[in-house]
Amino acid sequence: MVALSVYLKQPNFIYLCTYLWLATLAVVNAQSGIRGFFTHQSKKKTQGVTLWDENSLRNNLYSRPQPLTDLKFSSSDSLSGKSSLLDVSASLKASFLGGLVNVGGSGKFLRDTKSSHRQSRVTMYYSETTRYEQLTMSQLGQVTYPQVFDQKSATHVVTAVLYGAQAVMVFDRTISEEENKQEIEGKLNGVVRSIVGLSIEGEGSVNMNDDDKKNC
């Protein structure tokens, strides 16, 4: 049977620097919301620091639905291919390679490579967003606690959040010496792609013919 692994990513966060340098980053291990501080070099959040009080944040928050889904497939096992699949920025990729970012979830997927040249792999990527929240432009200039800037404890502050989730499903199949690797990879790719369109019966049972089961 196909080995199936699932990796989840946290919501996407948009960060605005105090000097209006905009940075967009998918947060992989943080629960910061709007107002939270963040150090761009280390990709770590700063606890207990905020520029605005709760009432200001509550009364000046713009929110809108942003439903969007995306589905992709890939046979690449390289870091470059995986980074492209997850839409990882060049700077975050460099931080990951340099050991500056210690992540779970999607980080495990980036590190997970085929253990043998006789192994066939197809990756299915799914993402979904639900809503978008951001501070109004008028509120950005009305800082409640300006003394925070003097602490120099972070480089960015969270001013907008795009809520959603991403899942990566990895399908592996070991190829015997008698089988043609390229042919099996093509068949596995076809089986994985067809999963989306397969009919579902009863409590989640999937109809697969004998050839599909053999390829798995």
Q: List, for residues 108-148, the tens digit of each pLDDT value.
A: 777 778 888 888 888 888 888 899 988 887 767 777 777 77
Residue pair 162/68 in contact (Cβ under 8 Å)? The answer is no
67 pLDDT above the threshold of 90? yes
Task: Flag whether pLDDT at 18 surpasses 60.
Answer: no
CA 213 – CA 17 distance, rounded (Å):
52
* Cβ-based neighbour number of residue 1 at 10 Å: 7
* Residue entry with tokens 């697969």: 208
Phi and psi based region of residue 164 (left: phi greater than 0; alpha: psi -120 to 50; beta: remaining): left
Domain segments of the chain: what residues?
3-174
Residue ranges of the alpha helices (H) in the chain?
54-59, 79-86, 90-97, 106-111, 137-140, 148-151, 181-195, 210-215
Q: What type of residue sits at position 94?
A: A
Residues 6+ apart with CB under 8 A from 44: 38
Dihedral Cα 109, 115, 120, 123, nearest 10 deg: 0
Give the per-residue pLDDT at 148: 74
Q: What is the pTM of this model?
A: 0.64
pLDDT of 74 above 80: yes
Number of H helices, E strands in the chain: 8, 10
Q: How confident is the model at residue 12 (pLDDT cuts 50, 70, 90)?
A: very low
What's the pLDDT tens digit per position in 138-197? 767 777 777 777 777 666 777 788 888 888 888 888 888 888 878 888 888 888 888 766
Mean pLDDT along residues 19-28:
46
Of the candidates 130, 132, 156, 133, the residue with the CA atom closest to the CA atom of residue 58: 133
For residue 179, with 0-12 CB atoms within 10 Å meaning exposed, 13-18 middle and 19 or more buried, which class applies?
A: middle
Higher pLDDT residue, 213 or 49?
49
Asked if 119 and 174 count as a contact pair (C-beta separation under 8 A), the reply is yes
Instruction: Work out the percent of the chain whose per-residue pLDDT is above 90.
Output: 2
Give the pLDDT band of residue 25 (cuts 50, 70, 90).
low
pLDDT grade, residue 65 (50/70/90)?
Answer: very high
